[in-house]
Structure 1
Amino acid sequence: MSGADHYEVLNVERSASAAEIKSAYRKMALKVHPDQGGNAALFRLVQEAWTTLSDPAKRAAYDRSLDGHATPPRPRHPEPPRQPKPDPEPQWTWSTDQPWSSEPSGPDPVRSDGAGPVLIYPTFGQWRIPALVALVCFTLLVAWIVVTSGVGFWDIVFDVGSAAMVFLALPPHWTRRVPLHGLFKVIGGLTAVFYLLMLILSLSTAHKGSTLERLVLGAICGGLVITRFITGRWSKYHELDVAIDREAAFEFNLWGKPGEPLVADTLAASISPYDVMLHRRTAKLLDPVLTALPGAKLVNGAQLGAMVVDHLLLNGHRAALIVSIVGPGGTYSLDAYGGLQLNGQPWESPAPALEAAVESWRGRLRQVDVRGFLVIHPDTGATVRTQDRADAKVTCLAARSAARELHAWLQPEGSKVYRQVLYDILHRAPYGLV
């Protein structure tokens, strides 16, 4: 098989119908046609993909060739170590003249190291049992006060207020579903203030109350504070459970699409079709890392406010920010100022922007070790070598060895998922929420 992955070029699944392929071809051809300011080499790839996939016989033969190069599905748990194949199959390489080539310069295979099952922190359902126990005890206390009170007008008023205090103690994710919950909270809050004033008066010398009265008032005031704190903690983790549920925590490891920001908005800069294909190529290169580390999560187009990075690979308390470029053969390194050099000469690259992104994400994820990686895809037939400083915030990686080196850096964390970190990356950082 030669040339690019035709399905990837048209951005369709292998199961796409003929009509879907035709529609995708028309959209892509209009976007990349040279007369529309597109890229001629990319347009040739689109034409080649359409020629193959529009013919049922050619498409069937092409699918068989893909099956011959397909990798096995990712296992639920890590596989035992295997010996690498003596003659690895050719991998695809990006080229500026002919954007895809069959030179054997893909990533070395990364095998599972038997790290064990995925561990989730914090666990699901935290604070639920303590919250329910505290809520039941507080409800019983309020019920006892209501039952033992009189039947006068003011007794009934305070009974209603006491019942509203139970509503005040409920977890927020329950109360938000109740109509007029704001009114009930106000009534419960006023009643709690009244009980607190009664407690203060009962402790004063001028209005010294009985021991039982002081105990009841202290129990109702202290019980409300304690119960509300515990149910509030449960509600906080309940929101986390909903956002990152068991299926997402254990089974999902991909968010976003290569070449697109995680959150579609007008602040994110547009990405050229050429760069979109480069992002897809790098995302495929990361597949072996996700296979070897079941707890790793890949976020394509991760955002911190309006700042977008191509890929964010998270494993435990380590996060790799990944940006890729295409360059000629030679030795790449970063100078003391974060600029990229090729064979000792300055070479234009997004390395300084990546270093700035690393600083920003370190400020955001203070408990996470954030590091930048610049993946360099070589031109056809070229050889890329890298040299790096140990103290650099950004590391240069040759595409061939990128998966292996990223796995080596992430692997010490094991198969752990810190859901609060993942929640921040997916649901808070893109919107600049604190």
Structure 2
Amino acid sequence: MSGADHYEVLNVERSASAAEIKSAYRKMALKVHPDQGGNAALFRLVQEAWNTLSDPAKRAAYDRSLDGNATPPPPAPEPPRQPQPDSEWTWSTEQPWSSNPSGPDPVRSDGAGPILIYPTFGQWRIPALVALGVYVVLVGIVLVSTHYDGFLAYVIAVATASMVVVVLPPHWSRRVPLRGLFKVLGVLMGIAYLVTLLPFAHVDMTGADRAVIIALVAGLVVVRFVTGRWSKYHDLDVAIDRPAAFEFNLWGTPGEPLVNDTLAASISPYDAMLHRRTANLLDPVLTALPGAKLVNGAQLGAMVVDHLLLNGHRAALIVSIVGPGGTYSLDAYGGLQFNGQPWESPAPALEAAVESWRGRLRQVDVRGFLVIHPDAGATVRTQDRADAKVTCLPAQSAARELHAWLQPEGSKVYRQVLYDILYRAPYGLV
């Protein structure tokens, strides 16, 4: 990986102190040393980075060369008062939006409007609490008005009270001791009440008694449905809460699977460094699209993709390679070609990942992107077919083109999609 940034090689910031650089060098050198089963080429890069950054004069000259080769960002425009879709691309590293979870929804400084969260927080909470309260009162009235004249009457009373446990939202009922027993009693009591309403039961009841029993049985079904819906969204609110939805835009670590288990194959130090390099390249996209979420090492079962960039109902699966200057394109079978000749790459695996994720996230437009980092001083060009599932992107324009593809979704966060990617897809849960 010639031409690699010395700071990226050691995985430190440009502002790192001499002690931090020394510590990072020792850890990386031990990890990639050929005698420890590491990569010889990567070890040479680590040595080169250390020789440059450990010498203050060489480091200062190297920093000046980085500043001289870097493309200066365009000046950020003044925030307009009205939305302007053609506003200039900015590369600021500051988050252009408020992140106060107790205040109003964060608003982008470029005037594109607030970050919209779907579904909103607290879904079904008020209807569930009202329905539950009414049902508890109804059961209480039945228990208070019942005349207890024997052991069977007390058993019926306990079973009737157990109907409340049945209609509790699951995230509450999990805390009830012996909840399984109480739920069985409550369901059986509901069935028994329903049987008394049938013509062959021959149970003498007044119209008021019949109405109460109908309310008890119908409420058991209706209230349980409402509280169940609330509990489902409550779990979502806990997993993807307001800070996560509004403030967090990064999950996972570049160069590592999202879930630390035995399913995913190990990642070499060389590839881990490449993952970090690509993740840094995506920072401007997250800045320009505050509703976007980057998941490093996203997993679908045992299938791991380097990066998944989600914005609204669009998801970009991103992998990267390093190659010499020239023209890259994909053939009709999804294989990568370099200057018209076959070139080994993860493009076919990425195309398979796109198909798998499309089957998983059926409401999401999933597309693959192969980012090509050029060797030092090289120029990369790409040619793509309009119907291709995977698009080749030169590293120097990848952030801009990813932003252009994701931007039409606006600034929306679909929490159920993000929850599926983070907590269900890695384990193959339906």
| TM-score for the superposition, normalised by structure 1 | 0.84
Equivalence for 1:240:
236
Q: Distance in 2 between matches of 1:58 and 1:213?
A: 91
Q: Distance in 1 between matches of 2:412 and 2:88?
A: 25
Q: Structure 1 residues 213 and 54 mapped into 2: Cα distance closer, same or farther (>3 Å)? A: same
Amino acid at match of 2:340: G
The 5 Å alignment of 1:146-157 reads: 146-153=143-150, 154-157=152-155
The 5 Å alignment of 1:297-376 reads: 297-376=293-372
Equivalence for 2:187:
189
Distance apart, 1:44 and its partner CA? 3.5
Distance apart, 1:115 and its partner CA? 2.1
Distance apart, 1:29 and its partner CA? 0.7
Name whichever of 334-343 and 249-258 sits farther off: 334-343
The 5 Å alignment of 1:59-74 reads: none
| TM-score for the superposition, normalised by structure 2 | 0.85
Distance apart, 1:241 and its partner CA? 0.7
Q: Distance in 1 between matches of 2:239 and 2:178?
A: 26
CA contact (8 A) 2:3 2:375 kept: no
Equivalence for 1:129:
126
Q: Structure 1 residues 140 and 247 mapped into 2: Cα distance closer, same or farther (>3 Å)? A: same
Distance apart, 1:298 and its partner CA? 0.4
- RMSD value, Cα: 3.2
Q: 1:224 aligns with which of 209, 220, 224?
A: 220
Amino acid at match of 1:220: L
Which string of whole-angstrom CA distances, capped at 9 and with x for unpartnered residues, describes residues 135-188 of structure 1? 001011111111111132233322222111111111010011122222222222
Q: Structure 1 residues 235 and 83 mapped into 2: Cα distance closer, same or farther (>3 Å)? A: closer
Equivalence for 1:399:
395
Residue 130 of structure 2 aligns to a residue whose secondary structure is: helix
Distance apart, 1:413 and its partner CA? 0.5
Which string of whole-angstrom CA distances, capped at 9 and with x for unpartnered residues, describes residues 54-91 of structure 1? 6789889989999998999xx9xx96576579xx9xxx
Q: 2:158 aligns with which of 153, 156, 160?
A: 160
Q: 2:115 aligns with which of 118, 121, 140?
A: 118
Equivalence for 1:32:
32
Q: Distance in 1 between matches of 2:127 and 2:204?
A: 35
Corresponding position: 1:271 with 2:267: yes
Distance apart, 1:264 and its partner CA? 1.2
Q: Distance in 2 between matches of 1:277 and 1:133?
A: 54
Amino acid at match of 1:246: R
Q: Structure 1 residues 84 and 415 mapped into 2: Cα distance closer, same or farther (>3 Å)? A: closer
Equivalence for 1:102:
none
CA contact (8 A) 1:112 1:293 kept: no
Give 5+ residue unaligned stretches, structure 1: 89-110
Q: Distance in 1 between matches of 2:210 and 2:342?
A: 78
Equivalence for 2:416:
420
Distance apart, 1:213 and its partner CA? 2.1
Residue 374 of structure 1 aligns to a residue whose secondary structure is: strand
Distance apart, 1:249 and its partner CA? 0.5
Q: Structure 1 residues 157 and 64 mapped into 2: Cα distance closer, same or farther (>3 Å)? A: farther
Residue 258 of structure 1 aligns to a residue whose secondary structure is: coil
Distance apart, 1:34 and its partner CA? 3.6
Identity, % of aligned positions: 80
Q: Structure 1 residues 328 and 59 mapped into 2: Cα distance closer, same or farther (>3 Å)? A: closer
Distance apart, 1:430 and its partner CA? 0.4
CA contact (8 A) 1:135 1:169 kept: yes
The answer to which structure, 1 or 2, has the higher relative contact order (CA under 8 A, 6+ apart) is 1
Q: Structure 1 residues 15 and 197 mapped into 2: Cα distance closer, same or farther (>3 Å)? A: farther
Amino acid at match of 2:138: L
Q: Distance in 1 between matches of 2:312 and 2:400?
A: 18
Q: 1:386 aligns with which of 379, 382, 389?
A: 382
Equivalence for 2:42:
42
Give 5+ residue unaligned stretches, structure 2: 81-85, 92-107
Q: Structure 1 residues 186 and 70 mapped into 2: Cα distance closer, same or farther (>3 Å)? A: farther
CA contact (8 A) 1:33 1:39 kept: yes
Q: Distance in 1 between matches of 2:14 and 2:375?
A: 28
Q: Distance in 2 between matches of 1:323 and 1:166?
A: 52
The 5 Å alignment of 1:203-214 reads: 203-204=199-200, 206-207=202-203, 209-214=205-210
Amino acid at match of 1:245: D
User: How many residues are paired up?
Assistant: 404
Equivalence for 2:104:
none
Amino acid at match of 1:142: V
Amino acid at match of 1:10: L
CA contact (8 A) 2:298 2:426 kept: yes
Residue 426 of structure 2 aligns to a residue whose secondary structure is: helix
CA contact (8 A) 2:297 2:304 kept: yes
Q: Structure 1 residues 173 and 187 mapped into 2: Cα distance closer, same or farther (>3 Å)? A: same
The 5 Å alignment of 1:96-107 reads: none
CA contact (8 A) 2:121 2:237 kept: yes
